[in-house]
Structure 1
Amino acid sequence: MTHGWVLVGVDGGEAGEAAVEFAARYAAPRGLRLELLHVAPEPAYAASDSAHARIGRQQRHQLLDTAAARARELLGADDPGRVGAEIAYGGRVDRLLAAAEEGCELVVLGDQRRPQVDRLATGSVLAGVAARCTVPVIGVPAGWTPHAQDPVVVAAVKTCADSGVLLDLASAVAAEHGARLRVLQARDVQHAAPGHRGAWEEAARADLARLVATHCDRYPDLKVDVDVVSGQPARVIANASAQADLLLLTRRPLVYSHGHLGGTGRAVLRESRCPVAVLPPPTAGPGSGP
């Protein structure tokens, strides 16, 4: 694999199809390649030569061939080298992270919504990759389709001090697609004294305005809304996703070298109704962003 490519997780389901479509829309105008990866979590079984194992391998190749054909159709490219496909065996999160380390600029994964009890039992591949990957990871809900008119990009800001890269990328994406940018910050101060809540909202709005002035000035025609909301952050951000075409947030640069995806970020990944881009903190590694 070389530079100039997007890694796409393919699982044969509706979520994988949504990931392929989103990735192709991203890659087509940029001339990027797509590398489709299907991870089968049974290395010992796959290594056997039983009839059952051979049938399993055949089915996996068939689903990859179907996904690759769809990707070529969406890219509108005759060059077969624009789309690659591979099967890996082992832990899904670890295999996807290892593939991303080979130089891609973006990872796109589908998110097949499951009951919360299932996620607690099996974990979420999307959250596991988004929490540690050194390049941006976009989770695409199964069945998602973009809005035909009035696109909106939402940048979810936790603290202004750590959100410069987030605003740089969000403003670039919004400008590229002719979208309105909504810069959103939420904090649960509903039960605070009215004077305290009002002071927080005023200060937060002023900080966001300075952040926008510093990081969005390259696009003078970009329409930007600054929004400060008092409420449970995960719920506020998830609600905002219903009117958005892309939502961006950043892992926090805490003690871990790859940063930290906290409870709010994981809840947003789980509940968002639009694609969510999780950006690594600036110290986590290279990545040009979505």
Structure 2
Amino acid sequence: MSPSTVVAAVDGSAESQAAARWAAREALLRGLPLHVVHVREEWTTGFAHAPFTGADTALGDAAATRHGAERVPRDAADRLREDHPGLRVGVEQVSGRPVEVLLAAAKKAEVLVLGSRGLGAVGGFLAGSVSMPVVAHAERPVVVVRAGERGEDGKRRAGGPTGPAPHLDVVLGLDLAGPCDELIEYAFSAAAARGAALRVVHGWDAPVVSGYDPEAGDPGHAVAWGLREAGALGDALRPWRGRFPDVGVKEQCVVGRAADHLVDASKDASLMVLGRRVRRAAIGTHIGPVTHAVLHRAAAPVAVVPHP
């Protein structure tokens, strides 16, 4: 694998199949090869009864289970080649711990694509024990895709024979307290690859006033703060508009919980792009509260881009 590769992790689940389909389309959009990776954990009694697609787990036979597991990436790759004849698809099966293997794969990829069930039975955690640790520690962008998401292909539904349906907007959640080049560049590049507009959502809170402040009740005071935030957003995006002149940009400053506004924006988006500050702690899921919330609730695939 080279950094110019889209990597899709598959395990036979509906979620990973949706992720692989999304990854195939992304690879075609960017003119890159697709690499399908399946992680095979060491066999245990519990593993023999795992719901791998194609495995006769009712027999509890280790050889049958391994055989079924080996078919997972091959079958996924065959379906993708059939659906996209021009796509270059490589296949790899690796034994080991899924999080460790996928983090290693992410280092060599342009983007790593994972499936997720979304919000699990225990509030606050993505169902499954792989997605969140990989998102939290990957050194390259990770896209999380759920099965059954609306508009999985990210396109508007055309009403007639007017040519290919255009892509929905790419939405970027941007915190002006520390805008970063890696995050903004990824969002602009994603929009350019799709021929889509980029909608940039910046959430801000009015300053808390302690004690008596005659300006606090003045509506003009809030307007001035809003104009200040809008100006800062325009300044942050101006260099990138010059680098990507063909990308239409929609700037949106919103007051209140940024996560709520982003989740709402995801209902009409082909891709949601969020940042994650790199932290060197070996444990914990350090992705930030906004990204954490949007990952659970977004209606569109979510790209999480690490940055300093």
Q: TM-score range by the shorter chain?
A: 0.7 to 0.9
- 1:162 alignment counterpart: 179
Amino acid at match of 1:181: L
In structure 1, runs of 5+ residues without a counterpart are 284-290
- Indicate how the Cα distance of structure 1 residues 119 and 44 shifts in structure 2: closer, same or farther if over 3 A, else same: farther
Query: 2:135 touches 2:304 (CA, 8 Å); kept in 1?
Result: yes
Amino acid at match of 1:147: K
- Indicate how the Cα distance of structure 1 residues 151 and 190 shifts in structure 2: closer, same or farther if over 3 A, else same: farther
Query: 2:6 touches 2:33 (CA, 8 Å); kept in 1?
Result: yes
3-state secondary structure, aligned to 1:278: strand
3-state secondary structure, aligned to 1:216: helix
- 2:23 alignment counterpart: 23
Alignment partners' CA distance in 2, 1:231 and 1:90: 43
In structure 2, runs of 5+ residues without a counterpart are 49-58, 157-165, 210-215
Amino acid at match of 1:212: L
- 1:126 alignment counterpart: 131
- 1:288 alignment counterpart: none
The Cα shift of 1:138 comes to 0.7
The Cα shift of 1:135 comes to 0.9
- Following superposition of structure 1 onto structure 2, how do residues 232-243 of structure 1 map, counting pairs within 5 Å? 232-243=257-268
- The one of 65, 70, 75 aligned to 2:74: 65
- Indicate how the Cα distance of structure 1 residues 2 and 152 shifts in structure 2: closer, same or farther if over 3 A, else same: closer
The Cα shift of 1:87 comes to 2.8
Alignment partners' CA distance in 2, 1:173 and 1:117: 33
Query: 1:238 touches 1:273 (CA, 8 Å); kept in 2?
Result: yes
Query: 1:136 touches 1:279 (CA, 8 Å); kept in 2?
Result: yes
Amino acid at match of 1:219: F
Query: 2:259 touches 2:293 (CA, 8 Å); kept in 1?
Result: yes
Query: 1:17 touches 1:110 (CA, 8 Å); kept in 2?
Result: yes
3-state secondary structure, aligned to 1:4: coil
Alignment partners' CA distance in 1, 2:278 and 2:3: 26
Amino acid at match of 1:100: A
Q: Within the alignment, does 1:105 sit opposite 2:110 as a pair?
A: yes
- Following superposition of structure 1 onto structure 2, how do residues 141-180 of structure 1 map, counting pairs within 5 Å? 141-144=146-149, 145=152, 146-148=154-156, 149=166, 151-159=168-176, 161-180=178-197
The Cα shift of 1:114 comes to 4.5
Judging by fraction of residues, say which structure has more helix.
Answer: 1
- The one of 180, 201, 205 aligned to 2:230: 205
C-alpha deviations, 1:209-238, integer Å up to 9, x for none? 111212121233432111111121222111
The Cα shift of 1:115 comes to 2.8
Query: 2:118 touches 2:127 (CA, 8 Å); kept in 1?
Result: no
- 1:136 alignment counterpart: 141
- Indicate how the Cα distance of structure 1 residues 194 and 275 shifts in structure 2: closer, same or farther if over 3 A, else same: farther
Give the alignment's TM-score, normalised by structure 1.
Answer: 0.83
3-state secondary structure, aligned to 1:273: coil
Amino acid at match of 2:116: D
The Cα shift of 1:61 comes to 1.9
Amino acid at match of 1:99: A
The Cα shift of 1:89 comes to 3.5
C-alpha deviations, 1:72-115, integer Å up to 9, x for none? 1233138xxx32223334432222102223x2211011122343
Alignment partners' CA distance in 2, 1:194 and 1:129: 46
- 2:293 alignment counterpart: 267
- 1:222 alignment counterpart: 247
Amino acid at match of 1:252: R
- 1:39 alignment counterpart: 39
Q: Aligned residues, how many?
A: 276
Query: 1:151 touches 1:178 (CA, 8 Å); kept in 2?
Result: no
- 1:286 alignment counterpart: none
The Cα shift of 1:252 comes to 2.2
Alignment partners' CA distance in 1, 2:262 and 2:15: 21
- 1:249 alignment counterpart: 274
Give the alignment's TM-score, normalised by structure 2.
Answer: 0.78
3-state secondary structure, aligned to 2:178: helix
Amino acid at match of 1:263: P
- The one of 155, 167, 185 aligned to 2:202: 185
Matched-pair identity in %: 34
- 1:10 alignment counterpart: 10
Query: 2:167 touches 2:194 (CA, 8 Å); kept in 1?
Result: no
